[in-house]
Structure formats: structure tokens, C-alpha cells
């Protein structure tokens, strides 16, 4: 399922040719080519990428907890989440394995609205997204407070497929997609940054696709 090969040696003519042709293709399809971050190619498919199994939930089994440095930690059921005011965004997504997909549409609740309810303590600076089976991703608090950082439960107006993180995933579209945990179960407010799953395995602590922050030291 997972193919995060560490491939930084794109110096041969075949791969350079592929990326150049793909970038020309982006323009010829009418997209602004500057939407494609460096080293990425555009795909119209929706690749599936994760470590381990896809969880299945019985009705009522899933919940989301907001915890850590907050005044009022809480846990929401799926029905409680979907009853909250929702936002729909259309956004580009960028995987560190080099595929990008344009104009994906997600519906969910702004993280900043959930955090307003919890009351974030002033000492909080970072957030850990906790997913099923121990997958985690660390994020600066300011990044998840952006209007387009959402806890989502619909893709293209339909329930999210289990393989893409259903029932509920995080979407933080301006960072590489590994920062958007599928099967999200908790958002933990932290006093400092701390590496999550991929960050412990060599991926960048922040992960800006336009700065190509793929690995430690990028
Ligand atoms: N729980 C969990 N979330 C995850 C991952 C994972 O392994 N487990 N992989 C991440 C990576 S590397 C990517 S690119 C996206 C892929 O999402 P998709 O399968 O919906 O395309 O999920 C991210 N979220
Ligand atoms: Mo990824």
C-alpha cells in the first residue's frame, strides 16, 4: 500500500522529461502551472496512500477528542460533529510521493471553531493529530487555525470512502498531505513541537510543498 521511497535523485533524463512534460500538460489543460509545486506531477486519479489497515466503524463507534492544553477538553460523536456549522472548500492537495491533485472538494468543520469551543490555553503552540492505529502528524497551531483547515466528513458531497479516511479525516491543504491524518480520532494541543509518525521517520517537521520541505534538512 505504501510506497514512500526516498527518491531524491531525479537527475536522469527520463524523470526530468516526465516532470517537464507533465508541467506543460498542466498549462495546456488550462490550469495555472504555478499551482503545481516544484517536483510534483498532476494526477486526475485519487491515489490511496497509508500505512497499515483501513479501520471499519460500527454506527456510533467513532468519536473525536479535543485534548491537551485547552480549558474544556471534549469528545464529539459523528452526529454531533456533523450538526455543527460546516464549510465546503475546493483545494489542491500535494503528496510527498510527488503526486498533486487539483480541485478536491471537502466538507467539514473548521478546526478553529472546535478549538474556540475548547478554549485554547495561551501556552499552546502546536497540535498533534492522532489517527486510528497510532498514526500521528504534528502541526503548528497557526496552521490549523487557518480557515481552510478542516475536520472533514464529506468528499465531493458524499461520505468519505473508508480508504480515503472515512468517516472523518483532517485536511490541512497547504501542507504535504501526510499532515492530513485519515481516520482522525483526536486533536491534542501541545506546548511545543514534537515529531509525528512520518516526522520521526525522516520527513520534514513542517512540510511546505512549495518550499519542497520533504525531508529533514530540506
Ligand atoms: N491515518 C493515516 N492518515 C494518513 C496516512 C496514513 O498512513 N495513516 N498517510 C498520509 C499520506 S502520506 C497521504 S499522501 C494521505 C493520502 O490520502 P489518500 O489516501 O486519501 O490519498 O493520507 C495521509 N494520512
Ligand atoms: Mo503522502
Could you tell me the mean pLDDT of each successive run of 10 residues in the chain, 218 residues long?
Answer: 47 70 90 96 96 94 98 98 98 98 98 98 98 98 98 98 98 98 98 98 98 96
C-alpha cell at 78: 459523528
d(CA 54, CA 75): 22
- State whether residue 101 is helix, strand or coil: strand
The ligand 1 atom nearest the CA atom of 183: 1
What is the pLDDT, as a whole number, of residue 21? Answer: 86
d(CA 35, CA 102): 8
What is the pLDDT, as a whole number, of residue 24? Answer: 86
C-alpha cell at 132: 486510528
What is the pLDDT, as a whole number, of residue 12? Answer: 56
Instruction: State the DSSP code for 116.
Output: H
- CA 39–ligand 2 middle distance (angstroms): 14
CA distances from 99 to 5, 19, 42, 49 (A): 13, 11, 6, 11
Ligand 1 mutation pick, 172, 180, 209, max ligand atoms within 8 A of CB = 180
Q: Is the whole-model pTM more than 0.85?
A: yes
How many residues can be counted in the chain? 218
What is the pLDDT, as a whole number, of residue 2? Answer: 46
d(CA 152, CA 182): 10
Q: Burial of 45 by CB count in 10 Å (0-12 exposed, 13-18 middle, 19+ buried)?
A: exposed
Contact 138, 124 (CB under 8 A): no
**Helix, strand counts (H, E) of the chain:** 5, 11
d(CA 196, CA 203): 9
C-alpha cell at 183: 481516520
Provide the β-strand partners of residue 29.
Answer: none
Tell me, using a 6 A CB cutoff, whether residue 101 lines ligand 1.
no
Nearest to 189 by CA among 147, 148, 132, 140: 140
Amino acid at each position: 500500500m505504501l510506497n514512500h521511497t526516498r527518491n531524491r535523485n531525479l537527475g536522469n533524463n527520463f524523470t526530468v522529461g516526465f516532470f517537464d512534460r507533465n508541467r506543460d500538460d498542466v498549462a495546456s489543460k488550462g490550469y495555472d502551472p504555478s499551482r503545481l509545486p516544484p517536483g510534483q506531477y498532476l494526477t486526475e486519479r485519487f491515489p490511496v496512500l497509508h500505512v497499515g489497515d483501513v479501520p471499519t466503524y460500527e454506527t456510533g463507534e467513532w468519536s473525536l477528542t479535543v485534548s491537551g492544553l485547552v480549558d474544556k477538553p471534549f469528545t464529539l460523536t459523528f452526529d454531533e460533529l456533523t450538526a455543527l456549522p460546516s464549510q465546503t472548500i475546493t483545494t489542491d492537495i500535494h503528496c510527498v510521493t510527488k503526486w498533486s491533485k487539483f480541485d478536491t472538494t471537502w466538507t467539514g468543520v473548521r478546526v478553529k471553531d472546535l478549538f474556540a469551543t475548547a478554549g485554547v490555553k495561551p501556552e499552546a503552540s502546536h497540535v498533534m493529530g492522532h489517527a486510528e492505529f497510532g498514526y500521528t502528524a504534528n502541526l503548528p497551531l497557526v496552521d490549523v487555525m487557518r480557515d481552510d483547515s478542516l475536520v472533514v466528513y464529506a468528499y465531493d458531497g458524499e461520505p468519505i470512502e473508508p480508504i480515503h479516511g472515512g468517516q472523518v479525516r483532517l485536511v490541512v491543504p497547504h501542507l504535504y498531505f501526510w499532515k492530513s491524518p485519515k481516520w482522525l480520532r483526536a486533536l491534542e494541543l501541545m506546548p511545543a513541537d514534537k515529531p509525528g509518525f512520518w516526522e520521526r521517520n525522516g520527513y520534514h517537521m513542517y512540510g511546505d510543498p512549495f518550499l519542497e520541505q520533504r525531508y529533514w534538512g530540506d
